[in-house]
A and B are shown apart, each in its own frame.
Chain A
Amino acid sequence: MTTIPKVLVTKIGLDGHDRGSRIVAAYLRDAGMEVIYTPPWQGIANVVKLAIEEDVDVIGISSLATDHLIVPKLTRALAEAGVVGVAVIVGGIVPDDDEAMLVAAGVARVFHPGAPLAEIAEFIRSVVPSLRAEREAA
């Protein structure tokens, strides 16, 4: 049975530059995934709510202007809401020190500028089966 990954592509915080999130969302959609796309500036509570309602496998956060600094607030809010089996990935401009901080906060993967789109899709496909198993077990 083929599984169609379900991905929420969004931006939290204060920045509105959405070239990256639009390109990634369109690419994943055309690669056969189900993509939920939002405008920038989503509140963290809203992202958690969307992730639960839409039963997504992956939350992709695009950050170009330091909004990644509040991604740990998102992973904490997901945990507090009892969400399991959902991977958070971050794409954009993330300094090396901050990447370590994000990984420690539970972010599954950080994609930097120049990362091929196919690599993002491949990563998502590779993690979806175990994420689904985790959600079913919970």
Chain B
Amino acid sequence: MNKPASPAEVAAAESSRVLPEGLARWQRAWSEQLGDAGDCENRSGIAIKPLYTPADWDGSRYGDTVGYPGEAPWTRGIYPTMHRGRAWTQRQLIGLGTPSDYNLRLVDLVNHGATAVSLIPCNSVFRGYDMDEVDAELLGTCGVVVNTADHLDTCLADIDIGRMSCAMNDPSPFTLLAFLLAVARRRGVGWDQVRGTSNQSDYLSHYVANHMFFRIALPGARRILGDHIEFCRRFVPHWNPMSVVGQHMQQAGATPAEAMAFTLATALQNADDCVLRGLDPDSFLPGFTFFFDISLSFFEEVAKLRAGRRIWGRLVRERYDAKDPRSARFKFHAQTSGVDLTRAQPQNNIARVTVQAMAGIFGGLQSLHTDAWDEALSCPTEAGARIAVATQNILREEAHLTDVIDPLGGSYYVETLTDEMEARILECLNVVENAGGMYRAVESGLVQTMIGDSARRFQEKVERGEQTVVGVNRYRVDEDAHARPALDKPDPQRMRAHLAAFAAWKSARPAAAVAHALDALARAAADPRANVFAEVVAAAESGCTHGEICATLRRELGFGHVQAIV
């Protein structure tokens, strides 16, 4: 009876037919020793072979699929000089306590090498509330409590906002940017000098993944984003109003290929929306930036970023007929994955973050946040944050990682994997496009279900021991809880003083100006031809608080609710 040939036998037969002698010899030796036992696949489900050779990628399509940095097909990077010309921006996300607590930490990080501002507000801000509307226990524990232009002024004391780029985790309705513009005017800094990014302006990723900023219902959030993009195009030309976030979706469980596909689908949705408003693609696409998670799956992450950059460059040309090369530049910030960090043996996280950061650097990032090793224990301590900054300094200056542009380009493995990740990403992108685009796919819960399924599959691999997590499912040791560091906690007295000052400030404000500005905001929300964000800026300058602005818009545009999908 004929037994069907095993995959290894088929491969051996094929290889003896078409492959060079050396490769066939190696393949026989491999099969004899391991057979099929060495099979593995990456997080995106792509089978990974033990060896890649010119039989996989021979360089004959170099010009079409790889090319040169700073030009199509963009695989090797978006600038001709890449990290040789300018290293990435060291952008540590920080936010803790009161505005003056935040300022101390910010100035310290800048003195230790951070080259840009990043600001994470308190979860109360994310949810659209002022500090006097939430449980006081939660204030400032995960971000800085910023409710007014004055608060942001304090946060940025001694920081030259005309020179330093500011990235703020500032979702719709973008009150933090409004406060920043108010501060700029006070300091005599022109709005055309203000630079940075509305990090996480992407309401869709919030809706599907971490839900953090979801304070206005989907249609309203969609409109305000468009208004915000139009406003920035006119008045804040160096501001990137659109940050498309793959990071949330990958942290929520999407595979690297899925996260890239959902991010591209989101970017297409937002670009389509801008085109519907009559905007010229070359006027808004240069203001698009991206934000990715970098997991520990090193080569997969490198390939994901290279493939995503190539796909975006092509889509921008084919779908929008964009002519300006800046439109095709896939500028991105990356953050090392917090989900990969462990509470067990937490100092091991320094090694994890280093590998993740290297994947992002080889993937051609423009800006990087390295997680502090103690993130799995609590919001990072100051000492933990310093090591994260030092890690970047070491990688950039001691390890010479930036001497050569795209140093993994041309590797048989990396080029093959980049092609395979591209195919997997496009497959997933098609699923979303066939569902009517990202907005519809999110409304129907399709994307949330896919993310949830992938999260469970990964967790099952960890539980079965197929994915090693050092200290968790292998190499466990008994640990002494006292060896874990004592945590910095916001001083409750300082937060109480911040609350008291806020109450006093509110009652001393010119009430008429505030009421007038909130009225104008409500009218703008009710008028589809008005620009809501312009009124958010006016309200911020008139002394309205974040919570008042959000409450007004929630009333007019509906409160955002999240679907419960298990």
Chain A residues near B (Cβ < 8 Å): 13-19, 22-23, 25-27, 29, 35, 37-41, 65-67, 69-70, 73, 93, 95-97, 112-114, 116-118
CA distance A73 to B210 in the complex (A): 24
A70 x B138 contact (CB < 8 A): yes
- Which residues of the other chain, A, contact B214 by a CB distance below 8 angstroms? 16
B564 x A38 contact (CB < 8 A): yes
CB distance from B250 to the nearest CB of A (A): 10
- Which residues of the other chain, A, contact B223 by a CB distance below 8 angstroms? none
- The answer to whether A19 and B566 touch (CB under 8 A), given A116-B463, A117-B463, is no
B378 x A23 contact (CB < 8 A): no
- Which residues of the other chain, A, contact B212 by a CB distance below 8 angstroms? 15-17
CB distance from B135 to the nearest CB of A (A): 5
- Which residues of the other chain, B, contact A39 by a CB distance below 8 angstroms? 211, 561-564
A65 x B123 contact (CB < 8 A): yes
Known: A13-B135, A14-B134, A26-B452. 16 other contacts (CB 8 A): A14-B127, A15-B212, A16-B562, A18-B210, A26-B456, A27-B456, A65-B123, A66-B142, A69-B137, A69-B138, A97-B487, A112-B343, A114-B344, A117-B459, A117-B463, A118-B463
Chain A's closest residue to B377 (CB) is: A95
CA distance A41 to B214 in the complex (A): 11
Give B132-165 as 1s and 0s: 1 = Cβ < 8 Å from A's Cβ atoms: 0011011001100000000000000000000000
CA distance A39 to B456 in the complex (A): 18
- Partner pick for A41 among B127, B342, B565, B566, CB 8 A cutoff: B127
- Which residues of the other chain, B, contact A118 by a CB distance below 8 angstroms? 463
Cβ of B379 within 8 Å of any chain A Cβ, yes or no, is yes
Q: In B284-326, which residues have CB < 8 Å from any A CB?
A: none
Interface of B is mostly: loop
Number of contacts between A and B (CB, 8 Å)?
A: 101
Can you list 19 A-B pairs with a CB-CB distance of less than 8 A? Answer: A14-B124, A14-B135, A16-B211, A17-B211, A19-B251, A19-B253, A26-B456, A35-B566, A39-B562, A39-B563, A40-B211, A40-B562, A65-B142, A66-B138, A73-B135, A93-B343, A96-B481, A112-B343, A113-B343
- Which residues of the other chain, B, contact A16 by a CB distance below 8 angstroms? 210-212, 214, 562
Chain B, interface size category, equals 35 or more
Cβ of B217 within 8 Å of any chain A Cβ, yes or no, is no
CA distance A117 to B138 in the complex (A): 28
- Partner pick for A29 among B343, B379, B459, B566, CB 8 A cutoff: B566
- The answer to whether A14 and B126 touch (CB under 8 A), given A26-B566, A39-B561, A69-B137, is yes
B342 x A113 contact (CB < 8 A): yes
CB distance from B39 to the nearest CB of A (A): 26
Chain A's closest residue to B123 (CB) is: A14
- The answer to whether A93 and B378 touch (CB under 8 A), given A13-B135, A19-B253, is yes
Chain A's closest residue to B124 (CB) is: A14
B456 x A23 contact (CB < 8 A): yes
- Which residues of the other chain, B, contact A93 by a CB distance below 8 angstroms? 343, 376-378
CB distance from B207 to the nearest CB of A (A): 10
- Which residues of the other chain, A, contact B135 by a CB distance below 8 angstroms? 13-14, 69-70, 73
Give B342-386 as 1s and 0s: 1 = Cβ < 8 Å from A's Cβ atoms: 111000000000000000000000000000000011110000000
- Which residues of the other chain, A, contact B251 by a CB distance below 8 angstroms? 17, 19
